[in-house]
Each structure stands twice: as C-alpha cells, then as structure tokens.
C-alpha cells in the first residue's frame, strides 16, 4: 500500500500581514514549505500533493516538480482544500497523511511515527494531537467519558469549558485515502466562519462507525503552527537553538550563541570559532580554524581553513586559506579570493578573482577583474569598471604594485611585475616590468606662498 501526502498551502495567511503567502515566507532565509518537503522526502511518503491557491506561481516557481499541484481557486477552508485533491488522489488505494504547510518544525520521524501507528492500529483515521500550556488558536480535542475522541472544535467555536482543554489538533492526520474523499464530500460549511473545516471529518467518520483514533506527541514544539510574524519568530528561535546546539556538540565554538544565526543548509567544520551577531545562511561552508565575526553576514559562500572575517559582508563568494577579511569589507557576486590575502578596511570586491598573497588593506574597489599573485592594491585604488553603459574587465598580472589613489580604467591589462605610481589614472595597458606614471608633473613655484595672505589667528 502506498503512502500519499497532502500539504495545504493555498491560504493567504491574513494574520501574517505580509506580501508573501504564509507558507512561502522564509525562516532563516528558507521558505517554510521547503522545510516540510525536505522532511516529506526523507519519510515513508511515496508521493506528495501540494494544495496551492493564493499566489500559486510563487510555489510552482520555487518547488518545480518536487510535488503534484492541486489548485484551490478560492480559499474556502481546510476541508475544501483537501477536496480539490480528488482528481489527483481520489481513486488511489492506500493511506494519506494530511499536513498543514504552516508547520515548518515537523520532522520525518513524526511523519513516519504517525503512519506506522495508524497502520498498526488498523485505524481509518488517526489524528495527531499534542498538549500546549497555552493552546490559544488551536482546535481542541473533545473526548467522551471513555476517553475516545468525539470531535475537534476550533478555538473560536469553543465554549469557556472547552477552551480549558490543553490537548489540541496538530493539523496532521493519517487517513484511508478512499474513505477520506467520501468523508470530505459530507463536510458542511461552518456558519460562523463560512468555511469547510477538515476537522469535521472526525464526527463524519465516527457517525459511519469507522475507526477514529489519536496519537499524542510529546515534543509539541515540532508541530507548532505559524499564524503571524510573532509565531515566525518563535519557530526561528527554536530552529536556531537546535542548529547551534548540534554545531557546538560537533566542536564549533560559539560566543553568545543566542546572537548567532546559522541557516539549515550551512556546513561548519569542527574547530571554527563564531563571534556574536553573526549570520551564516544559504549553502555556505566554513572550514576548520576559521574565525568568523563579530557582526558578520555570510550567504552562500565557501570559507577555507583559518580565514578570519570581522565586521564584514560576504555573499556568493569564496575565500582561500589564511586570508584576513575586514573590518568593514564587502565581498559579493562571485568574489574569489586566493590564499593568504588581506581584504581590509572598507574594501569591496565584486565578481573578481585574486591570486595568493594579494593585499588590499584599505579603501579599495575591485570589480569585474582578475588579479594575479602578490599584488598590492594601495589605499584608495579603484578598478573603474563602468562607463555608464557597460561593465569592463581589468586583468592584472603577478607581483604588481598599485600605488595609492590609482584609477585603473577598464578595459585594461596590467602585465607582471608592473609598478604604478600613486595618484595615476591608467587608461592604457601596461607591459610587463614597466613603471607607469599617469598624473601631472609637480610644479614648485619658488617663494610663491610666502606672499600669500595668511589666515588670521582668530579664524
């Protein structure tokens, strides 16, 4: 028998008050729905269908063919959202796990546990429940005198008595696939909200003497539902703590870990030190001995052994061994820095590569260029890569010394062992071994200054 999944993500998420639909909203720079799908793909589920509606193109573009799409044109409630999957799943033999797209902390173990419990018990419907000290917003589990589930009542429909119940519906259900679709057809619209509640299948299936059971989860954080930006922050904190704890146990030293944010897809080796207020996200890799932070952001970048980065931004870049970056450097858009480099104070590197041993210690812009080994960029040197219409490249050889305050006007090629005098504006290629001086000659006018009017003391 096959296992199918239905994941509901058609809602706008009105309570979020964001442009993006709720289930596409990122947590640690990764959309919520991707967390669920990663776990679905690791679980016993054979095929997943995603219910989309509001801004569905965002999901289709993001997830491509990872899932089947069922479209819910109007969001008429969770029951209606399942109903629109009938064309895809209606005639399938097997069982279906239904999940909400707004539970990013769910993991594949929870999914597998629910499926195997459902099978072992021979249930027709299994509701995954949990208990919360403050269950506001969740549907409550109503049990009869024998302790069996009778119904799920939404928070807003609960009596004062029912509001005291701490056991809630997590929004995960395992159900016999064919019986699901016959039950879903019988859901009536909820008068108060004007929606079809999926939770009504509990009573519907019980009335037909089908076997309805529950399984209670103890780690209730894993099934928390996201409803607004405050709950996003709770989920984010949970994920951050979990990721940081795993890393610290593997030998990553974090100073003030509660100020450090590491994304889900980041790899950090043992022996790395991370200082406060540091964000590392995307598929970044940090190799052993590196010291990162404080106040540093790294996104989708590879940082090799023993690199030091302080107070800097590094996006889509790679930094070779033993290089020192910062303070206040900005590397972006395919910067590929060699080993033993220095990318210092207020230096920006964009779409450029440098060879080993190259240095730009202060105030430089290196854009659209390729630089050799042991090059020294003096303070204030700039690759002038943009003519107002197009970007041009600068190619610099090995062992080049670029004096302070130099403009290298691209397109330009500088040979090996070149020396460029400070203050030059270089517009023509410089051959190997040459000294280039491109500035006005200094004139000293003898005794000229001595007759100038001196500023008064009281100025």
Under the rule (CB under 5 A), what is the footprint of Ca ion? 102, 225, 227
To the nearest whole angstrom, how small is the minimum distance from the Cβ of residue 269 to ligand UD1?
37
To the nearest whole angstrom, how small is the minimum distance from the Cβ of residue 352 to ligand UD1?
43
Partner whose footprint covers residue 78, from ligand UD1, Ca ion, none (CB < 5 to 8 Å by kind): ligand UD1
CA angle 396, 400, 406 (to 5 degrees): 80
Residue pair 265/243 in contact by the 8 Å Cβ criterion = no
Phi, psi of 323 (to 5 degrees): -75, 145
To the nearest whole angstrom, how small is the minimum distance from the Cβ of residue 358 to ligand UD1?
50
Summarize the chain as % helix, strand, coil (round to 5): 25, 30, 45
H helix count then E strand count, the chain: 9, 41
Instruction: Tokens for 386, please give them.
Output: 């943009």
To the nearest whole angstrom, how small is the minimum distance from the Cβ of residue 58 to ligand UD1?
12
Quote the CA–CA distance of 33 and 5 in Å, as a whole number: 13
Partner whose footprint covers residue 10, from ligand UD1, Ca ion, none (CB < 5 to 8 Å by kind): ligand UD1
Question: Which chain residues interact with ligand UD1 by CB under 6 A?
Answer: 8-11, 22-23, 51, 72, 75-78, 80-81, 100-102, 138-139, 152, 154, 168-171, 197-199, 225, 227
* Cβ distance to ligand UD1 smaller for residue 165 or 409: 165
Active-site residue identified among 155, 311, 362, 392: 362
CA angle 370, 374, 378 (to 5 degrees): 80
Residue pair 242/262 in contact by the 8 Å Cβ criterion = no
Partner whose footprint covers residue 9, from Ca ion, ligand UD1, none (CB < 5 to 8 Å by kind): ligand UD1
Long-range contacts of 162-168 (CB under 8 A, 24+ apart): 165/135, 165/140, 165/141, 166/131, 166/132, 166/133, 166/135, 167/129, 167/130, 167/131, 167/135, 167/140, 167/141, 167/143, 167/216, 168/129, 168/130, 168/131, 168/132, 168/135, 168/138, 168/139, 168/140, 168/141
362 carries an active-site annotation: yes
Residues 6 or more apart whose Cβ sits within 8 Å of residue 49: 4, 5, 6, 7, 67, 68, 69, 70, 85, 88, 89
Partner whose footprint covers residue 305, from ligand UD1, Ca ion, none (CB < 5 to 8 Å by kind): none
To the nearest whole angstrom, how small is the minimum distance from the Cβ of residue 16 to Ca ion?
10
* Cβ distance to ligand UD1 smaller for residue 169 or 312: 169
Phi, psi of 75 (to 5 degrees): -85, 90
Instruction: Tokens for 145, please give them.
Output: 């005198």
* Cβ distance to Ca ion smaller for residue 23 or 280: 23
Partner whose footprint covers residue 81, from ligand UD1, Ca ion, none (CB < 5 to 8 Å by kind): ligand UD1
* Cβ distance to ligand UD1 smaller for residue 81 or 243: 81
To the nearest whole angstrom, how small is the minimum distance from the Cβ of residue 264 to ligand UD1?
20
DSSP 35-81: HHHHHHHHTT-SEEEEEE-TTHHHHHHHHGGGSEEEE-SS---HHHH
To the nearest whole angstrom, how small is the minimum distance from the Cβ of residue 356 to Ca ion?
53
* Cβ distance to Ca ion smaller for residue 232 or 335: 232
Partner whose footprint covers residue 76, from ligand UD1, Ca ion, none (CB < 5 to 8 Å by kind): ligand UD1
* Cβ distance to Ca ion smaller for residue 227 or 295: 227
* Cβ distance to ligand UD1 smaller for residue 66 or 393: 66
CA angle 214, 215, 216 (to 5 degrees): 120
Positions marked catalytic: 362
């Amino acid at each position: 028998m096959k296992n199918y999944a239905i994941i509901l993500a058609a809602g706008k998420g009105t309570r979020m008050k964001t442009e993006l639909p709720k289930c596409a909203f990122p947590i640690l720079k990764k959309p919520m729905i991707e967390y669920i799908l990663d776990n679905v793909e690791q679980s016993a589920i054979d095929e997943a269908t995603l219910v989309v509606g509001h801004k569905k193109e965002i999901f289709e573009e993001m997830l491509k063919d990872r899932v089947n799409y069922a479209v819910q044109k109007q969001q008429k409630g969770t029951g209606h959202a399942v109903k629109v999957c009938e064309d895809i799943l209606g005639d399938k033999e097997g069982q279906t796990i239904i999940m909400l797209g707004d539970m990013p902390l769910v993991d594949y173990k929870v999914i597998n546990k629910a499926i195997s419990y459902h099978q072992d018990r021979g249930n027709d419907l299994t509701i995954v429940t949990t208990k919360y000290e403050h269950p506001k917003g969740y549907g409550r589990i109503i049990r009869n005198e024998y302790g069996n589930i009778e119904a799920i009542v939404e928070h807003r429909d609960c009596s004062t008595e029912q509001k005291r119940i701490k056991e809630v519906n997590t929004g995960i259900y395992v159900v016999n696939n064919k019986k699901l679709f016959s039950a879903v057809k019988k859901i009536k619209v909820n008068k108060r909200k004007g929606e079809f509640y999926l939770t009504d299948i509990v009573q519907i299936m019980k009335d037909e003497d089908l076997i309805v059971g529950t399984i209670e989860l103890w780690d209730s954080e894993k099934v928390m539902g996201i409803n607004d930006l405050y709950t996003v922050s709770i989920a984010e904190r949970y994920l951050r703590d979990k990721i940081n704890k795993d890393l610290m146990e593997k030998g990553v030293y974090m100073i003030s870990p509660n100020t450090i944010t590491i994304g889900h897809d980041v790899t950090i080796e043992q022996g790395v030190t991370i200082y406060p207020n540091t964000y590392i996200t995307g598929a970044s890799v940090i190799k052993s001995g590196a010291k990162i932070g404080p106040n540093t952001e790294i996104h989708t970048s590879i940082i090799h052994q023993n690199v030091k980065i302080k107070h800097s931004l590094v996006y889509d870049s790679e930094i070779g061994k033993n290089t020192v970056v910062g303070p206040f450097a900005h590397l972006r858009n395919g910067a590929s820095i060699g080993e033993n480099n220095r990318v210092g104070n207020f230096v920006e590197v964009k779409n450029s590569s440098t060879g080993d041993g190259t240095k730009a210690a202060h105030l430089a812009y290196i854009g659209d260029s390729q630089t050799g080994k042991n090059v020294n960029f003096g303070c204030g040197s700039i690759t002038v890569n943009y003519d107002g219409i197009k970007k041009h490249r600068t190619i610099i050889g090995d062992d080049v010394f670029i004096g302070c305050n130099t403009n290298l006007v691209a397109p330009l090629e500088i040979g090996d062992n070149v020396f460029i005098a400070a203050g030059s504006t270089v517009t023509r290629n410089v051959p190997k071994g040459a000294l280039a001086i491109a500035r006005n000659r200094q004139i000293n006018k003898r005794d000229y200054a001595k007759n100038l009017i001196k500023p008064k003391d009281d100025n």
